[in-house]
Amino acid sequence: MNQAADIIDLLTKIQEKANLLRHGEDVTFDGVNLAEVHCIDQIGMIDYANVTKVASAMGMIRGTISKINKRLLNKGLIESYQVSENNKEIYYRLTKSGEQVYLQHRRCHETALKEKFSILNSYSEYEQAIILRFLSDINRFHDRKLMD
């Protein structure tokens, strides 16, 4: 990945984490809060998504993901299933409604990505390196705050 892509990735993470820190669960996306949308996003991207994989991908603890998944199950946005080889493990997949939220979220990110790239392209490689260092520092700060 080039520096511009790294900067965009960190900017997105910073924005999402800032929203979680500032608004908690009040931020909604079509009636689904931001944490739920991101959980839907991970379930949509991960093969055989389970609580452990989603928690790891989101940087959250399993108990939090279990609670979010319970809400998503109740809202009909995901469904649980098991595979015959492992009756112990519970996996999650998107329902049709969940897929709609997933696709809408993906489109939102694609639009934001294009907008941010147009801004970053006005900076030199040197300036982007400084921006990347700065945003990495902020991202680590938010990671520490979320772990508290």
What's the number of domains the chain is made of? Answer: 1
Which residues are paired to 94 by β-bridges?
A: 78
DSSP designation for 148: -
Containing structural domain, residue 71 = 3-147
Residue 119: CATH number of its domain: 1.10.10.10
CA dist 28 and 32 (Å) reads 5
Instruction: List pLDDT tens digits, range 88-136.
Output: 899 999 999 999 999 988 888 888 789 889 999 999 999 999 999 988 9
Contact yes or no for 98/72 (Cβ under 8 A): yes
Global pTM exceeds 0.95: no
- What does the block give as tokens for 76? 């009909």
CA dist 93 and 47 (Å) reads 9
Q: Which residue has the tokens 């108990």?
A: 63
CA dist 8 and 139 (Å) reads 12
